[in-house]
Every structure is written in C-alpha cells, then in structure tokens.
C-alpha cells in the first residue's frame, strides 16, 4: 500500500504556520484543555458521578437530563476533549442538565471484577444518582464504544431503571464485522483463547500501555504519517489543537480488570455472542428485546474499531423499543464522537433525537391507546428526521 505524503506548507501559509509553531513552543500547546466545571454528586466503588455546571446566566431547559457513559479503560475526557470540541460543553450550552460517570483508576486490586459488576451495580447506581439529583426525571444515556454495550445490557437487565433513551455511539455489536479481529481469529480458534486469557490473569487485566497501544494501532496509517501531516498543516490551528487533545486523551487511558477483559475477549471477540441480541452474564440471560426506550444507533463512516456494519446490527435487535433511529456520521472511532465536524453531524443528530425522545415520553392519552394510535403519535414526532422504521411494542 502506498502512503501519500502531504505537501509541505506553501509560502502563502507560512505566517500562520509560524504563529502556530511559536504558540506551541511558548505556551505549550494550542488546545484549550480546561475541563468543563463540574461537581461530584455521588460516589461509590468504581463510580463517581459528576454534574456539569452551566455557565452563569444559562438556564437549563425542561428536557430530561443526560448521563454520559464512557467505556472501561478510557478517561471520561472523551466527552470533554477540549473547549470547542467537547460534547459535555455542547450539551450544557444547549440547556441540558448533564452528568458523567467516572470509573477511576483500575489496578491489579480490581482484577476480579467482571462485566456483571458494571451492569448490575456501577451503572444502575450512577443512573439512579443522576435521576435523583435531577428531581426524579428519567435519564438519557449517551455512551461511546463498549460503554454503549454496557448501557444496553444494563437497560435490558433492569428495564425499570429511570432511563429516557439510549444513544450508543460507535458501539460494536457484530464482532465478525470488525476487521481488526479477523487476522487473529485462526489463532484464537486454535488455542481456544487460552493464551490471552492466561496472560490477562497473570497481569491482572489489560494494562494501561497495552490499551493505549491498541487504540493507536487502530489508526496505524494515520500515526505513521502523523509527523508529515503536522508539517503540512502547521497553519491549521484547529487541526493541531485537535491532535494535541487526542494525544492528551490517550495518555490518560487506564486498564481493564482481568475478569472483565477475559469475559469481553471470550464472549464478544471469540464467540461473537452479542450478534443475536443477548448475552449470558453471571447465570443471567440478558436480552436486548427487553429494552423499551427509544434508541439512536450512531456509526462512524471511517471507523476501523467499530465499523458501520458492526454497529448498525443493533437496529435489528430491538423489537421492543418504541423508536429506533440510525445515523452515520463522518469520522473514525473517536472522531465520530468528538471530531471537528461532530457539532454539525453527530451532535446535531443527538440534539434532535433527545428532543424526539422527550416528546415520545411526554405522550399522554385520555384512554389506553391502541397500537395504531401509539404508532401514529410517534411517527408524527419523528417524521421530520431521517430514521429507521419505527418499532412499537
């Protein structure tokens, strides 16, 4: 494969390039990495729930609050990458009461924690805490990558939780459609996954350096030509700031607990168990068919970790959801969540979907509606947006 090297900065662009370079040297970077102000509202083992504070003079609207849910081993700064490219900032500025859950540092002492710990305890408690702080309102779950899988499993396992909707962004469901997994499948089949399992047990999980390198490997070509790309875009302040923010984000990745890593490896990567919409966890069969709330599935058009086919599989596994919507937005695995174009693509679709979900939740009938009446009411709310067919249970 031939790598096309970017062209160097032209003479006309040299002044802007020089200004950016001097700013990087003198002020240690171009990205505004100040985190959005927030306050702790609840805490427990592997769980700290924060509420972002609105700017003075800003008023929160009447919509249901949002809880941002990251995947394991990833800092919650994925939702607050940098000022101007922060989903948390966008939601707060739009008037949404916004929360985020942080799992804290994961070390060898947490090696025995499994998937069930997160979906039976951590996330349900975080959801209840956010709802309680918001006066008992149900909570919109907005999640990224495997955080979306955990949100779906939590909602299916405990359908009475105060959840208003779920938006999994770049959350892989069909792991047979993930290109990065295919090359290792023959080795996994031959060893039945025992080699990696034993290594994870010895290390107590997937350590931080391994998690960071795996994320970087998913964009190998971009990382190889990164120095050349930077030289060609020295005049592009926003591009350089985004690179800085992504580097800062990957530097703060943490580890996977050993038991959780082993379960994810065997159940998702090796057996592809989620492809049929259910998963056996701790002697409980958790079925996505039990999810009743609206769901918006978002895939990245250039995502190598969670390609579109893997993500969109979810839409066919939610027969009980009142409303299922799918969106494809530009960007890779992180870019679709918080890239430079996310404000007009992913975030615009999210704002529209949250409005739709609030209106669906507010539907009131004098008598028990028929299926046809309910479908008609939902369609009247959602017809203005590009969407998948509505499913009414």
Residue 33 has pLDDT above 90, yes or no: yes
Label residue 56 by pLDDT band (50, 70, 90): confident
Label residue 14 by pLDDT band (50, 70, 90): low
> Which segments of 178-262 are extended strands (E)?
205-206, 256-257
The pLDDT value recorded for residue 151 is 98
> Which segments of 80-220 are extended strands (E)?
98-102, 139-144, 163-169, 205-206
What value does the CA radius of gyration of the chain take, rounded to a whole number of Å? 21
- DSSP 3-state assignment of 300? strand
Mean pLDDT of the chain: 82
Percent of the chain's residues with pLDDT above 70: 74
* 65-112 confidence digits (pLDDT tens): 999 999 998 999 999 999 999 999 999 999 999 999 999 887 777 788
Q: What is the average pLDDT across 182-200?
A: 50
* 159-180 confidence digits (pLDDT tens): 999 999 999 999 999 999 987 6
CB 318 within 8 A of CB 168: no
Q: What is the average pLDDT across 312-316?
A: 97
Residue 93 has φ and ψ, to the nearest 5°, of -65, -25
Q: Closest Cα partner for 310 from 323, 322, 297?
A: 297
Neighbouring CB atoms inside 10 A of 17's CB total 20
Q: What share of the chain is helix, strand, coil (3-state, %, to 5)?
A: 50, 15, 35
* 120-130 confidence digits (pLDDT tens): 999 999 999 99
Q: What is the average pLDDT across 203-211?
A: 48
For tokens 């390039």, what's the residue?
Answer: 17
Q: Closest Cα partner for 44 from 113, 129, 119?
A: 129
Q: What is the average pLDDT across 192-200?
A: 50
Phi/psi-derived region of residue 213, left when phi > 0, alpha when psi is between -120 and 50, beta in every other case? alpha
Q: What is the average pLDDT across 326-353?
A: 96
Burial 198-214 (b: 16+ CB within 10 A, else e): eebeebbbbbbebbbee
The top-scoring range by mean pLDDT among 94-98, 101-105, 266-270, 379-383 is 94-98
* Dist. CA 77–CA 142, nearest whole Å: 14
The pLDDT value recorded for residue 372 is 75
Residue 330 has pLDDT above 60, yes or no: yes
Helices (DSSP H) in 339-370: which residue ranges?
A: 346-361
Q: What is the average pLDDT across 308-335?
A: 96
54 versus 184: the higher-pLDDT residue is 54
Label residue 388 by pLDDT band (50, 70, 90): very low
pTM: 0.82
The pLDDT value recorded for residue 17 is 60
Q: What is the average pLDDT across 233-261?
A: 83
Q: Which domains does the chain have, with CATH numbers?
A: 31-207+255-382 (3.40.50.1820)
CB 261 within 8 A of CB 47: no
- Estimate the crossing angle of helix 208-217 against helix 237-251, to 10 degrees: 150
Label residue 302 by pLDDT band (50, 70, 90): very high
With the C-alpha atoms ordered 20, 21, 23, 24, is the resulting torsion angle positive or negative? positive
Question: Could you tell me how many helices (H) and strands (E) the chain has, helices first?
Answer: 16, 12
The pLDDT value recorded for residue 226 is 54
The pLDDT value recorded for residue 203 is 45
């Amino acid at each position: 494969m031939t790598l096309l090297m970017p062209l160097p900065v032209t003479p006309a662009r040299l002044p802007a390039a020089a200004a950016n370079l001097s700013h990087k040297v003198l002020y240690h970077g171009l990205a505004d990495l100040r985190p959005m102000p927030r306050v702790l509202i609840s805490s427990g083992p592997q769980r700290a729930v924060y509420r972002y504070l609105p700017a003075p003079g800003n008023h929160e609207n009447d919509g249901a609050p949002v809880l941002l849910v990251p995947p394991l081993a990833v800092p919650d700064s994925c939702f607050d990458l940098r000022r101007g490219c922060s989903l948390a900032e966008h939601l707060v500025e739009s008037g949404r009461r916004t929360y985020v859950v942080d799992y804290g540092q994961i070390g060898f002492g947490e090696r025995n924690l499994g998937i069930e710990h997160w979906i039976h305890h951590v996330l349900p408690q975080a959801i209840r805490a956010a709802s309680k702080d918001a006066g008992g309102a149900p909570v919109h779950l907005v999640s990224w990558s495997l955080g979306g899988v955990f949100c779906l499993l939590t909602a299916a396992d405990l359908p009475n939780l105060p959840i208003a909707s779920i938006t999994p962004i770049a959350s892989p469901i069909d792991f047979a459609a993930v290109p990065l997994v295919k090359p290792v499948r023959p080795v996994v089949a031959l060893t039945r996954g025992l080699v990696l399992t034993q290594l994870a047990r010895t290390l107590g999980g997937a350590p931080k350096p391994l998690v960071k390198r795996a994320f970087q490997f998913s964009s190998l070509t971009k990382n190889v030509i990164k120095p050349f790309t930077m030289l060609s875009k020295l005049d592009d302040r926003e591009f350089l700031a985004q690179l800085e923010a992504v580097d800062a984000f990957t530097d703060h990745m943490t580890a996977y607990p050993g038991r959780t890593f082993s379960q994810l490896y065997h159940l998702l990567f090796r057996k592809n168990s989620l492809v049929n919409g259910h998963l056996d966890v701790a002697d409980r069969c958790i079925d996505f068919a039990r999810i009743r709330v609206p769901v918006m599935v978002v895939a990245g058009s250039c995502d190598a970790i969670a390609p579109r086919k893997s993500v969109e599989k979810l839409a066919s596994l939610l027969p009980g959801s009142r409303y299922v919507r799918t969106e494809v937005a530009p960007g890779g695995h992180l870019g679709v969540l918080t890239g430079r174009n996310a404000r007009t693509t992913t975030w615009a679709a999210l704002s529209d979907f949250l409005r739709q979900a609030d209106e669906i939740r507010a539907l009131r009938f004098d008598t028990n509606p028929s299926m046809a009446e309910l479908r008609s009411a939902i369609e009247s709310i959602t017809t203005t947006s590009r969407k998948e067919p509505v499913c009414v249970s």
